[in-house]
Structure 1
Amino acid sequence: MRQKPTVLAREIVASSRIFRVEQVQLRFSNGVERVYERLVGRGTGHGAVMIVAMLDDEHAVLIEEYCGGTDTYELSLPKGLIEPGEDILAAADRELKEEAGYGARQLEHLTELSLNPGYMSQKIQVVLATDLYEERLEGDEPEPMGLDKINLRELASLAQNSQFTEGRALAALYLVRDLLTQRGVFVP
């Protein structure tokens, strides 16, 4: 493994209610120095979850919500922050109930994904939820989420849908499709 650069200085150069921008001065092993900027969390450090909730052997739940970053309504997977003291699977079940109106009898942590590791420190835990049942919890969303579904056979068309742009969600869906195929649950 390569030697990580030496940190010469760190400074928060901008801050908001949600984001902090950290400037990091680095020296690489070859002597080259650079200043990087990255978005860092607000110090809660509890992380986030993204849930691939399977309605049956081939259909996953999608939600539709307003996204401030793109200023549009987008389709994605249910997701949210892990609360203090909450484990990944409990957070996934809670977020699924809040955003999609389903609970899951079976939850499995699959992997951790990042959005843009060059500029962001945040990562998200991907959870597979199966054996769903209807149950809704009150969440922190400003309006009810729209609900949709996607057949795992149609992921290529989903990638072409202008209302579905989140790369992590697409990666999670492909991961689940491949996993369920390997297990003999899903037949492509």
Structure 2
Amino acid sequence: MLKDFTEKTIATEMVFKGKIIQVQVDQVKLPNGKVALRELVKHPGAVGIMAITPERKLVLVRQFRKPLEKTIFELPAGKLEEGEDPISCAQRELEEETGYQAETLKHVVSFYTSPGFANEILHLYQAEGLKKGQMKPDQDEFVERVEWSLDECLARIASGDICDAKTIAAIYLWQVQEMKAQ
């Protein structure tokens, strides 16, 4: 039988509440009866879209990421709006950031991005039946669409140009799909 490792929240202090995240410090009672502090980031969730063109190229966006102080390549992705269905968010973000529309979006997997301190869940979708259109980025969003083959993506992971978890996971998933198809 598995032990219960549940931590009971005794008190919560809201430290910051912004447009995207909120930060709080919880005082918790540990399974052994001792008390500890937990710093938590609350996030509404997000989506990532694995869009592969008929030419077998992955659609990525190149954009500057302030927390990293550099420009990186990543899947089109975005934050869920309050009450928004993840598939609707995926459709919206794919078109805004890449100009592509998808006939269908298939849910692949949902995962927590950093469960040690954040509750953000990311829903990964695979876009099929792509139709190219016009990009419509948000006013404060500056992105460039790129399209790379699987080999190019793997080389970009090795070089460090692709360095975020959702994109790396999607590329390795694509690699597995390609191996199964052979």
Q: TM-score range by the shorter chain?
A: 0.7 to 0.9
Give the drift of 1:114.
Answer: 2.2
CA distance in 2, matches of 1:65, 1:52: 17
Change beyond 3 A, Cα 1:143–1:11:
closer
CA distance in 1, matches of 2:163, 2:67: 11
Q: Which residue identity is paired with 2:31?
A: S
Give the drift of 1:143.
Answer: 5.1
Percentage of matched positions with identical amino acids: 26
Runs (5+) with no aligned partner, structure 1: none
Q: Is 1:34 aligned with 2:32?
A: no
Aligned pairs for 1:78-97 (under 5 A) are 78-97=76-95
TM-score scaled to structure 2, two decimals? 0.86
Give the drift of 1:54.
Answer: 0.5
Map of 1:130 onto structure 2: 128
CA distance in 1, matches of 2:18, 2:177: 39
Q: Tell me if structure 2 keeps the 8 A contact 1:51–1:92.
A: yes
Map of 2:173 onto structure 1: 175
Secondary structure of the residue aligned to 1:97 is helix
Runs (5+) with no aligned partner, structure 2: none
CA distance in 1, matches of 2:88, 2:42: 25
Map of 1:70 onto structure 2: 68
Q: Tell me if structure 1 keeps the 8 A contact 2:99–2:136.
A: no
CA distance in 2, matches of 1:130, 1:13: 42
Q: CA RMSD in A?
A: 2.2
Give the drift of 1:179.
Answer: 3.6
Q: Tell me if structure 2 keeps the 8 A contact 1:48–1:81.
A: yes
Change beyond 3 A, Cα 1:152–1:30:
same
Give the drift of 1:106.
Answer: 2.1
